[in-house]
């Protein structure tokens, strides 16, 4: 069989088109995966929030119960160096948590006191806009979620978060987890993670692990949509502050002094 040039070019063009078209179709046809949906009965109409009572928190010196529990149940690895560090809840000195306050008139020891910080679960979370693959999103009940299986590790959400709430797995974290909790997924190297407000516990009707662990009851958790909830009661009766509320992120972690 003779193939002339034109015929060859046509055949080549068609097969190329088929290849490209086929792969595009493969990609598009698989794009419509179902959205992960929360259990409706526990979450609809709720909006979770937390109040941190610093006076109570400062009651015991050097207490790290909330941090230890959180990191244990969520398989957060311990690297022992600030470079690789991963943290969901941790403490920063008061002056770093609230740098906009008139620090010069606050006593030295208050300025250095530890303030627990975690993901603020913002109502208007800046981080989720930046994700190129929708690996992070805000759920109906306000929890800012993270899909470790979709994250490509570009770390743009970390640049988007003004609170530094997100951590990246620089190494394979599994060897650095003391004792793996098999009820919660571990992560691989190369993905971003952060506090999830214990959504795995909320679904079961449990309080977040840090709230439950605090002996001083300095962490108060509840539904911000329910006027009778503990958090709403405190928001009504006490003066609360949020970290960098001027950025318009609407944090749902409040602090009382």
Partner 1 sequence: MAKRDLDLGEDKVLLEHVRRTGKGFYITFSILVALTLWGIYAYLTQYRYGLGVTGLSRQIFWGVYITNFVFFIGISHAGTFISAILRVAKAEWRRPISRSAELTTVFILLFGVGSVLVDLGRPDRMLYVIRYPHFRSPLLWDVICITTYLTVSSICLYLALIPDVALLRDLGEKRKWLYQVLALGYRGTERQRHLLDRGISFMAILVIPVMITVHTVVSFVFAMTIQPMWHSAIFGPYFVVGAIFSGIAAVIVAIAVIRKVFHLEAYLKPVHFNNLGILLLVMTLLWFYFTAAEYVTVFYGSEPGEMSIFWSKLTGRFSLLFWIDFVLCFLIPLPILAFRKTRTILGTFIASTSIIIGMWLERFVIIVPTLTQQRLSIERAIYIPTWVEWSILAGCISFFLLLYLFFVKLFPIVPIWEVREGREKSIVEVGERIKTYLPGGGKE
For the segment 102-121, give every residue that binds partner 1 (CB under 8 A): 117
For the segment 64-103, give every residue that binds partner 1 (CB under 8 A): 82-86, 92, 96-97, 99-100
Number of residues that bind partner 1 (CB under 8 A): 49
Our finding on whether 132 is near partner 1 (CB under 8 A) is yes
Our finding on whether 241 is near partner 1 (CB under 8 A) is no
Report DSSP letters for 111-173, one per residue: HTSEEEEE----SS-SHHHH-TT--EEE-TTS-EEE-TTT-----HHHHH-TT---EE--S--
Other C-beta atoms lying within 10 Å of the C-beta of residue 106: 14
- Name which of 85 and 230 has its Cβ closer to partner 1: 85
Other C-beta atoms lying within 10 Å of the C-beta of residue 218: 22
Our finding on whether 184 is near partner 1 (CB under 8 A) is no
Residue 193: both structure tokens together: 């993670």
What gap in Å lies between CA 196 and CA 120, rounded to an integer?
10
Q: Which pairing describes strands 167-168 and 219-223: parallel, antiparallel, or unpaired? A: unpaired
Our finding on whether 179 is near partner 1 (CB under 8 A) is no
Question: For partner 1, which residue of 2, 31, 37, 62 counts as binding (CB under 8 A)?
Answer: 31
What gap in Å lies between CA 158 and CA 73, rounded to an integer?
23
- Name which of 169 and 199 has its Cβ closer to partner 1: 169
Our finding on whether 163 is near partner 1 (CB under 8 A) is yes
Contact 64, 218 (CB under 8 A): no
Stretch that binds partner 1, among 64-72, 185-193, 200-208, 232-240 (CB under 8 A): 185-193
Which backbone phi and psi does 241 adopt, to 5 degrees? Answer: -125, 155
3-state class (DSSP) for residue 48: strand
What gap in Å lies between CA 244 and CA 236, rounded to an integer?
20
Our finding on whether 145 is near partner 1 (CB under 8 A) is no
Question: For partner 1, which residue of 11, 44, 159, 206 counts as binding (CB under 8 A)?
Answer: 159
- Name which of 47 and 243 has its Cβ closer to partner 1: 243
- Name which of 13 and 227 has its Cβ closer to partner 1: 13
- Name which of 153 and 227 has its Cβ closer to partner 1: 153
> Which residues contact partner 1 (rule: CB under 8 A)?
27, 30-31, 82-86, 92, 96-97, 99-100, 117, 126, 129-135, 150-156, 158-160, 162-164, 167-172, 188-192, 243-244, 247
């Amino acid at each position: 069989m003779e193939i002339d040039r034109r015929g060859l070019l046509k055949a080549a063009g068609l097969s190329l088109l088929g290849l490209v078209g086929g792969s595009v179709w493969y990609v598009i046809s698989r794009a419509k995966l179902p959205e992960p949906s929360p259990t409706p009965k526990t979450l609809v109409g709720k909006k979770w929030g937390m109040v941190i009572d610093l006076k109570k928190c400062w009651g015991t010196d050097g207490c790290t119960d909330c941090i230890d529990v959180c990191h244990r149940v969520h398989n957060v690895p311990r690297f022992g160096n600030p470079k690789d560090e991963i943290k969901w809840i941790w403490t920063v000195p008061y002056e770093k948590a609230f740098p906009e306050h008139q620090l010069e008139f606050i006593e030295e020891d208050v300025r250095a006191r530890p303030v627990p910080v975690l993901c603020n679960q913002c109502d208007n979370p800046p981080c989720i806009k930046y994700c190129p693959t929708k690996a992070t999103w805000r759920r109906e009940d306000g929890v800012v979620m993270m899909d470790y299986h979709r994250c490509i590790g570009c770390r743009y959400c970390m640049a988007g978060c003004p609170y530094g709430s997100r951590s990246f797995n620089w190494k394979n974290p599994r060897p650095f987890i003391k004792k793996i909790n098999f009820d919660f997924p571990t992560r691989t190297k190369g993905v971003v993670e952060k506090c999830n407000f214990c959504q795995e516990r909320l679904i079961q009707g449990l309080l977040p692990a840090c709230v439950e662990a605090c002996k001083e009851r300095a962490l108060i958790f509840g539904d911000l949509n329910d006027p009778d909830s503990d958090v709403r009661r405190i928001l009504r009766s006490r003066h609360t502050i949020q970290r960098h509320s001027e950025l318009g992120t609407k944090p749902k972690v409040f602090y009382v002094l």
